[in-house]
Structure 1
Amino acid sequence: MKQLLPIADGPEVRRYALVLMRRHPGDLLLTVGLYAAAAVSGLFAPRLLGDLVGEVSKHGSKVTVDRIAIAIAAFLVVQALLIRYARLASAKFGEKMLAELREDFIEQTLALPLSTVEKAGSGDLLTRSSRDVDEMSEAVRYAVPATLVAIVTVLLTIGALALVSPIMALPWLVTVPLLYFGTRWYLKRATPGYLRENAAYAAINDNLAETVEGARTVEALRLADRRRDRLDDALKESWAAERYTLWLRSVWFPIVEFGYVLPVAATALGAGIFYVNDLVTLPQAVAGVLYIQQLINPLDELLSWLDRLQVGGVSLARLLGVAQVPADREATGKVPIGSDIEARDVRYSYGTRDVLHGIDLEVRPGERLAMVGPSGAGKSTLGRLLAGIHGPRTGSVDVGAVPLIELPLNELRGQVALVTQEHHVFLGTVSENVALARPDAGDDQINAALAAVDALDWVRALPDGLETKVGSGEHALSPAEAQQIALARLVLADPHTLVLDEATSLLDPRAARHLERSLAAVLEGRTVIAIAHRLHTAHDADRVAVVEDGLISELGSHHELVAADGAYAALWSSWHGGKNGG
């Protein structure tokens, strides 16, 4: 399955995990120390029980067990208290690591080049930001602390067993090859299996997102059966991936379970043989068997959480992979001289096929340029290059003699801004949504921006005016209102060049024309590049660029192009009902 966003390798995942832990050495040491103390407290009971059995074997019923019983109870109470505080410390430690991981992921995601996001689609990124984060959360909160505890407990228990009698540790070694080779077999296959599983989930999410977003198109073109078949294929792949990882667990878990029973039986048998041959005392034999029995629980925890760590490790690799997307621009520190936009020999491709073929275009400061042409001609792609969203495959797009892709993003958005027919209303107030372009803007500036796009009247009519909460689950805005909010952000951002890609497509023609004229009045002196199918935009522009098959076939004023009787004249005649003027 093709993976559009990269995935970090094993060494990178381990390095990042160590970095996270090293950020909080005190919390890590406290957690491990508390669990180690709890494990040590639990080691006294087997030794005391062994001594008790030895005393009884020597002195029969004359032995008083009160002292030993009280000591065992005291150590168990201490162990319970230590475990309680250890779990609290591990929970705090896990939450700190998880918070930093999420912050790192959000920072890396927001730094992704927009061109990469557009090419990758929403499915893979959505899966990483939802399912992978959830899986990683469980691993950090539970699997990492539980694994550390299990490792510490196993090591201390084996150490205690060796102190009781080194020879009693020998029977336990029979299970090591079984657990080692069985676990190695599983780990070798688990990571690719879980990567395939997560990629399948990404394909499902991508398919669902596309179908929901394009529901009207699916219905209009009767594509439901085709979309359903595509979803069925994605579900089949997901089913096959999950079945494979389930098969891995069905093989590994029985090996692990047998690995718990074998050392207990081997140690009990060995203890009897050693005792009969006077190699160990009875207390040593009893304590040794109890220590091996006590190993079952931490080993079970360790190996059980190892599977969850594999899932979490795969999710972490996918989250870290976002940071490996190469930047699509490199700031050089050059300062634009002027605000003229110039494209020279611009070519751009999606994959292997060029969609723009050597375009040359100069947009003068303060000019209103309209780009028209048939669907698929390359207008939107050219608009994105002129806005600095994409970098050209060959050639250059400059502002003030500086390539757009050499400007830092913050500076670029102060120079050139793009508004498309795609828009988003964030959860928050109307004021907060508009002020995204300038967080320090006051109410007067926000009101002026809303007035510029004919939105002030309906905003004031909302239940709480500017403070009305909108977005998911709050007051619903119509598509046209949401588009006006997006345009108000643009007015507030105040760039010297605007690229409007069907920015008024959701408004009716009369409202759109009024809005565009209002914008023109507000943005007087600024460069406006408008991409539209409604040719009244071209009629009002200073110049019109006709884009056909990835080339600018005509360039001139409305009247010049109508008089030339070429492609634009045909478009105008068709759109204007046969009238050749304006």
Structure 2
Amino acid sequence: MHPLKKLFGYAGPYRRDIYLASLYSVLNKFFDVLPEVLIGVAVDIVVNGEKSFLAKQVLGGFGITDTWHQLLLLGLLNALIWGGESLFEYLYSLKWRNLAQNLQHDLRLDAYRHVQKLDMAYFENQRTGNLLSILNEDINQMERFLNGGANQIIQVVCSSIMVSAVFFALQPSIALVALLPVPLILIGAFWFQKRLAPRYLEVREAAGDVSARLNNNLLGLATIKAFATEQFEAEHIREASDTYRQANARAILVSSAITPVIRMAILAGFTTTLVYGGWLTLHGQLAVGAYSVLVFLTQRLLWPMTSLAEVADMYQRSMAAIDRAMGLLGTPIQISYEGRHFPADSVRGDIRFEQVNFAYGERPVLHGVDLTIPAGHTVAFVGATGSGKSTLIKLLLRFYQPQSGRVRLDGQPVDELNLQDLRRCIGYVAQDTFLTDGTVADNIAYGVSGASDAEIAAAARAAEATEFIEKLPLGFATRIGERGQKLSGGQRQRLALARAILKNPPVLILDEATSAVDNETEAAIQRSLDVVSRGRTTVVIAHRLSTIRHADRIYLMEDGRIAEAGTHEQLLALDGGYAALWRLQTGERIEPRQSIAEPS
């Protein structure tokens, strides 16, 4: 489907505004053409006086034949015409520009909301910078087209129709010759557009690549500085920018040729009217006033067509941008948000994985995982990187769907529950903590509307974050910068934990929450966990075994399967993979015992 059709379909609520804006553009062009007609009438009055066309055909019935009175009436008509032109220019400008702003606003919000609903698998093949380019620059390009380009296209079409009507009414023989370039100009413009379309799509893709590289480098600026690779990364940006420049150059090569071609066609039409019309006037076959009208109208019709080059350029840029934006909006949502609603306080927290298999693309990660986490228990998953620990959590949160098997919460398949309700009953603390560019209080209360200052402070105390918060310049009102960059890693983790505590969820998940913190912070987080895990199901993924030794049950994962399961003491007695990890981290010798815990 053509991008313009997609946009028109999307703009359903604004159809009335589109029609009104188009009507105002047409009426403005109608009044814009009339002054040229008045010039011809004025010339005819001055030359023929009381025998003018106006006196004989229009005003004679009213008894107005005096030359001066005709000119006065003409002056009044001129004022009314210019007033009408100015009025409708104001109205079409108001309508088109407001329409552009409203559509830009709605499309950006709808596209962003849609992106938030896409499953995590979609983002594995996307670059953040490219998505930013679509949500920002591409949608802005659409706004620029609606601001001016749509009106220009409508007015070129209208002026062609209106001027053609006047030409055929005054002198059909001139009309046929003078207007001959118009279809050639339009056909030429469309010919160029067809060749511009793929080039501008290439330009938009290259712009997305530049944005992606810039975004990636700005996020990793500390690493770039630490490794002294500023010149290396600058070269990467230069390559991306050069690709964008070359893509633009290929488009410019075609778009720049439009204006000269159109000018040659215009020259032919204007010269024909000037010479042939003059010859007819000299031989008495065309009135002087009519000749003046035709000359002025030819210029009014043909010379604005030179702007077709600019319009065609803007149009193709916009169509490529709209196609990308509408394509993003049309990306299918693989994981439905619909399902049975339920209140968070009704959740007990019983979790079951039933013969779950999962793969990232062609790479299998989980193989027939079958386990039960009783409500109110604290369980931990340990194992090497890539063993499938975090994937289990992502399936519970429905970031992904298993290829086979089911995940249940309180006996209900999670894929049958309302997705928002499911995630509201789970507190999630990730290894890579997301913090907003707000205050400390804003970040603790994130996702919990209406939280009081007392509740925020209590959550901070439970996460043992109060001590460092009170040392900040404005305490809880201190802004922490983008992604919390003004805080240390441990401080960010404590805020993330406080946020989960304030949410007070029936299920609490910590995914490598202590992997990048110092021993003191780890101990503080552990003390907090001992308190907040009481009475709720707590799932901990950890590399540091010291943080999960008191869990009710520990699962060792290897190659997507549960290799061992039991308490800390049982797994040490088993003297298997878990015991080997414990020795590696602590240096302790473990005496093997006879009691063995069976994997569940």
TM-score by length of 2: 0.84
* Letter of the structure 2 residue corresponding to residue 333 of structure 1: R
| Stretch moving more, 472-481 or 239-248 | 472-481
Contact 2:348 2:506 (8 Å CA) reproduced:
no
* Letter of the structure 2 residue corresponding to residue 70 of structure 1: G
Against the structure 1 CA distance between its residues 319 and 29, is the aligned structure 2 distance closer, same or farther, given a 3 Å change threshold? closer
Offset, 1:539: 1.4
Against the structure 1 CA distance between its residues 492 and 322, is the aligned structure 2 distance closer, same or farther, given a 3 Å change threshold? farther
Matches within 5 A, 1:281-292: 281-292=287-298
Question: Is residue 2:228 matched to residue 1:189?
Answer: no
Contact 2:341 2:421 (8 Å CA) reproduced:
no
1:434-468 CA distance string (max 9 Å, x none): 22221122222222222221123333444443333
Contact 1:483 1:506 (8 Å CA) reproduced:
no
Question: Is residue 2:363 matched to residue 1:353?
Answer: yes
* Letter of the structure 1 residue corresponding to residue 291 of structure 2: A
Whole-angstrom CA distance in 1 between matches of 2:353 and 2:483 = 44
Query: Residue 169 of structure 1 is aligned with which of 175, 184, 200?
Result: 175
Against the structure 1 CA distance between its residues 337 and 246, is the aligned structure 2 distance closer, same or farther, given a 3 Å change threshold? same
Offset, 1:526: 1.4
The residue number in structure 2 matching 1:54 is: 44
Offset, 1:119: 4.2
Whole-angstrom CA distance in 2 between matches of 1:349 and 1:226 = 35
Question: Is residue 2:394 matched to residue 1:387?
Answer: no
Against the structure 1 CA distance between its residues 400 and 533, is the aligned structure 2 distance closer, same or farther, given a 3 Å change threshold? same
Whole-angstrom CA distance in 2 between matches of 1:169 and 1:84 = 32
Matches within 5 A, 1:413-424: 413-424=423-434
Query: Residue 377 of structure 2 is aligned with which of 360, 364, 367?
Result: 367
The residue number in structure 2 matching 1:23 is: 14
Query: Residue 271 of structure 1 is aligned with which of 258, 277, 283?
Result: 277
Question: Is residue 2:134 matched to residue 1:144?
Answer: no
Query: Residue 75 of structure 2 is aligned with which of 38, 51, 70?
Result: 70
Whole-angstrom CA distance in 2 between matches of 1:147 and 1:528 = 62
Query: Residue 35 of structure 2 is aligned with which of 40, 45, 49?
Result: 45
The residue number in structure 1 matching 2:477 is: 467
3-state secondary structure, aligned to 2:369: strand
Contact 1:419 1:486 (8 Å CA) reproduced:
yes
Against the structure 1 CA distance between its residues 492 and 147, is the aligned structure 2 distance closer, same or farther, given a 3 Å change threshold? farther
Offset, 1:502: 1.5
Query: Residue 10 of structure 1 is aligned with which of 2, 6, 13?
Result: 2
The residue number in structure 2 matching 1:4 is: none
1:324-379 CA distance string (max 9 Å, x none): 22223233438698532222232222222222233223222222222222223332
The residue number in structure 1 matching 2:57 is: none
5+ long unaligned stretches in structure 2: 51-65, 592-600
The residue number in structure 1 matching 2:85 is: 79
The residue number in structure 2 matching 1:443 is: 453
Matches within 5 A, 1:364-513: 364-472=374-482, 476-513=486-523
| Stretch moving more, 346-355 or 111-120 | 111-120
Offset, 1:71: 4.8
Contact 2:339 2:416 (8 Å CA) reproduced:
yes
Matches within 5 A, 1:71-150: 71=76, 74=79, 75-76=81-82, 78-150=84-156
Whole-angstrom CA distance in 2 between matches of 1:137 and 1:191 = 18
Whole-angstrom CA distance in 1 between matches of 2:14 and 2:355 = 50
Contact 1:370 1:545 (8 Å CA) reproduced:
yes
| Stretch moving more, 77-86 or 380-389 | 77-86
Matched-pair identity in % = 28
Offset, 1:181: 3.1
| Stretch moving more, 333-342 or 569-578 | 333-342
Whole-angstrom CA distance in 1 between matches of 2:440 and 2:391 = 31
3-state secondary structure, aligned to 1:348: strand
Against the structure 1 CA distance between its residues 223 and 59, is the aligned structure 2 distance closer, same or farther, given a 3 Å change threshold? closer
The residue number in structure 2 matching 1:525 is: 535
Whole-angstrom CA distance in 2 between matches of 1:313 and 1:90 = 17
Against the structure 1 CA distance between its residues 55 and 144, is the aligned structure 2 distance closer, same or farther, given a 3 Å change threshold? closer
Question: Is residue 2:297 matched to residue 1:306?
Answer: no
Against the structure 1 CA distance between its residues 332 and 89, is the aligned structure 2 distance closer, same or farther, given a 3 Å change threshold? closer
* Letter of the structure 2 residue corresponding to residue 16 of structure 1: L
Offset, 1:149: 4.1
Contact 1:459 1:466 (8 Å CA) reproduced:
yes
1:85-141 CA distance string (max 9 Å, x none): 542343333323332223322322333334423442312212112221322232233
Against the structure 1 CA distance between its residues 545 and 258, is the aligned structure 2 distance closer, same or farther, given a 3 Å change threshold? farther
3-state secondary structure, aligned to 2:180: helix
3-state secondary structure, aligned to 2:446: helix
| Stretch moving more, 283-292 or 28-37 | 28-37
Question: Is residue 2:163 matched to residue 1:157?
Answer: yes
Against the structure 1 CA distance between its residues 577 and 158, is the aligned structure 2 distance closer, same or farther, given a 3 Å change threshold? farther
The residue number in structure 2 matching 1:333 is: 340
Against the structure 1 CA distance between its residues 258 and 417, is the aligned structure 2 distance closer, same or farther, given a 3 Å change threshold? farther
Contact 1:413 1:495 (8 Å CA) reproduced:
no
The residue number in structure 1 matching 2:63 is: none
| Stretch moving more, 392-401 or 140-149 | 140-149
1:202-227 CA distance string (max 9 Å, x none): 22333333344345666778887876
Q: What's the RMSD between the two structures over aligned residues?
A: 3.3
Offset, 1:506: 3.9
* Letter of the structure 2 residue corresponding to residue 10 of structure 1: H
The residue number in structure 2 matching 1:3 is: none
* Letter of the structure 1 residue corresponding to residue 111 of structure 2: F
The residue number in structure 2 matching 1:542 is: 552
Whole-angstrom CA distance in 1 between matches of 2:100 and 2:166 = 29
| Stretch moving more, 336-345 or 64-73 | 64-73
1:523-555 CA distance string (max 9 Å, x none): 312122212221112312222222222322222
Whole-angstrom CA distance in 1 between matches of 2:160 and 2:209 = 41
5+ long unaligned stretches in structure 1: 1-8
Whole-angstrom CA distance in 1 between matches of 2:484 and 2:367 = 46
Contact 2:14 2:99 (8 Å CA) reproduced:
no
Contact 1:368 1:541 (8 Å CA) reproduced:
yes
Offset, 1:35: 3.6
The residue number in structure 1 matching 2:61 is: none
Contact 1:430 1:466 (8 Å CA) reproduced:
yes
* Letter of the structure 1 residue corresponding to residue 362 of structure 2: T
Whole-angstrom CA distance in 1 between matches of 2:387 and 2:349 = 27
Against the structure 1 CA distance between its residues 21 and 557, is the aligned structure 2 distance closer, same or farther, given a 3 Å change threshold? closer
Whole-angstrom CA distance in 2 between matches of 1:324 and 1:97 = 16
1:368-403 CA distance string (max 9 Å, x none): 222222223332223312332111122222222333
1:300-339 CA distance string (max 9 Å, x none): 4455223212222222222222222222323343869853
1:27-80 CA distance string (max 9 Å, x none): 4455344443432333232222223333455579x9769648735752445534
Whole-angstrom CA distance in 2 between matches of 1:463 and 1:476 = 12
Whole-angstrom CA distance in 1 between matches of 2:408 and 2:517 = 32
3-state secondary structure, aligned to 1:391: coil
